[in-house]
A and B are shown apart, each in its own frame.
Chain A
Amino acid sequence: MDAALPLDLVEQARKVRPRVAAIDPALRLAVQRTWRGRMVNEHGSAPVFEALGEQLRKAGASPERVAECARMAEEERTHGVLCGAVVEAFGGDARAEIAPPPPFPEHADVPPLEAVTRNVLSVCCLAETVAVTIISAERLEMPEGELRDLLTRILADEIGHARFGWRWLAEVAPTFDEAARARLGAYLAVAFRRLEEHELDHLPVGARFPEGAAAYGLCNGADARELFYDTVREVILPRLEEQGLPAAAAWASRAAKLT
C-alpha cells in the first residue's frame, strides 16, 4: 500500500472559518470527522478534474473546455478548504492523512473522444449529479447562517461540475455510431456498479444521527440512499437515454454488490 500523505489546510481554513452556534458536545466530534472526511475527499477530487482536462486536451476538446476542468479542479481544492473551515469552526484541525490518488483510466481500447466521454459520464453525469441531489437536500435541512452559506457555495460549484458533463454529452453523443453507443453502454454498467458501491459504502442504511444533526450537515443514511436511487432512476437514466445511450439496460445489468 502506498504511503499516506499529509494534508494540512489549517492556515487556509482558518481564514474562512464560518461563525457557528454552540454545539452539543456529543455531536461535536461527529461533525468534525464528517467535515474532515469531506475535506479529504473534496480535495482529493482535484486530480480527477486535472486528469480529465488533460484527457480532453488530448482528445481535441476546445481550450475552453480544458480550462473549465482546471477551474473545477481548483474549486474542489477550495471545497476542501471550506470543509476544513467547518472542522476548524467546530474545534478541530483541518489536517488529515490522505492516500495517493489511484491512476486515472485512459481507456486506450477505444478512440480518444469515446474514452474521455466514459470518464465524463462517470465523474460528471453520474457522481456529480448525485452530489447535487444529496447536497441540495442537506442544504435544505440547514437553518440560515454561515454554515448554510458555505454549503450553498459548494453546491453551486457541484451544479457546474454536473452541468459540464451533461453539456459535453449533448455535444458529442450525436457523433457516436451504434457500436460506440453500445460500448458506452457497456462502460455505463461498470460505472453504475462503481457508483452504487461508492454511494452505499458512504451511506450505511442503519446509520442515524441524533435529532438536530442535520443542522450541521450530517445526513440520514437511509434517506440519502433513497435520494441516490431516485436520482439515478428519475434523472440520470432518462437523460442518458435521451442521448441515445442504453442506460436503462446498463443500470439493470450493473449487478452491484448490495451492502
Chain B
Amino acid sequence: MTRLEIRRRALRAATAVSLTTLTLAAFGCDGSVSVETAAQEESDPPAPPPTTTATPPIAPPDLGPIFPSMVADAGADAAVDNCPCPEGQDMFECCNEQSWLPACGCEAWGPPMPPSMEVA
C-alpha cells in the first residue's frame, strides 16, 4: 500500500467519526463502534492510478537514519545508543527532558488533559 493510499484511508477514518448523528442515522449507524468499522476500510477499492495530469507523488526527503550505528553493527542495541534516559527514570520527566525523543519511546496517543483558558 502506498503512503498516499494510507494517508487517504486514515483521513477517511477520521472524517467518518466526525460525521454527526444525523448523517450516521441515515446509514443505520447508532454511533456504536466495532472492530468492523476499521476492518471495513480494508475492502475499500484502491486509489485510482495517477493520470498524466496529476501531480506525481513527491518522495519524502531523506532525513537519514536515526540509528546510524545500526548500519555498522546490527547486533548493537541502537536505542540505547540514542536514548539517554537511564532505566528506571520517571518516564514523563525523562521524555520532557529529551523533547519526547522517539528513540526513548516517548510517543503516545492518549488525549492529554484539556488546557484551561488561563494559558491563553
Interface residues of A (CB under 8 A from B): 1, 4, 24-30, 32-38, 40-45, 48, 76, 79, 96-99, 101-105, 107, 109, 118-119, 122-125, 127-137, 139-141, 152-164, 166-167, 170-171, 186-187, 189-191, 193-194, 198, 201-210, 218-219, 221-223, 226-227, 230-231, 234-236, 239, 259
Contact = CB atoms under 8 A, between A and B. Distances in A.
Nearest to B78: A26
B106 A139 contact: no
Interface of B: 1, 3, 6-7, 9-11, 13-22, 31-35, 37-39, 41, 60-61, 63-67, 70, 74-80, 83, 88-93, 95, 99-117, 119-120
Given A34-B102, A259-B99, A230 B114 contact: no
A127 B88 CA distance: 29
A125 B89 CA distance: 33
A64 B91 CA distance: 35
A161 B99 CA distance: 27
A259 B91 CA distance: 21
Contact of A190 (B6, B22, B37, B117): B117
B108 A235 contact: no
A45 B77 CA distance: 31
A48 B17 contact: no
Contacts of A162: 14, 17-18
Contact of A29 (B41, B77, B101, B107): B77
Nearest to B77: A29
B13 A159 contact: yes
A68 to B, nearest CB: 10
A85 B70 CA distance: 26
A206 B32 CA distance: 38
A137 B107 contact: no
B74 A26 contact: yes
Contact of A208 (B19, B22, B65, B88): B65
Contact of A207 (B17, B18, B80, B102): B102
B33 A159 contact: yes
Contacts of A259: 99
Indicate the member of B35, B93, B101 with the most A CB atoms within 10 Å: B35
A125 to B, nearest CB: 8
Contact of A136 (B38, B89, B95): B38
Contacts of A209: 66-67, 102
A218 B92 contact: no
A170 B88 CA distance: 45
B91 A101 contact: no
B103 A105 contact: no
B17 A37 contact: no
Contacts of B1: 140-141
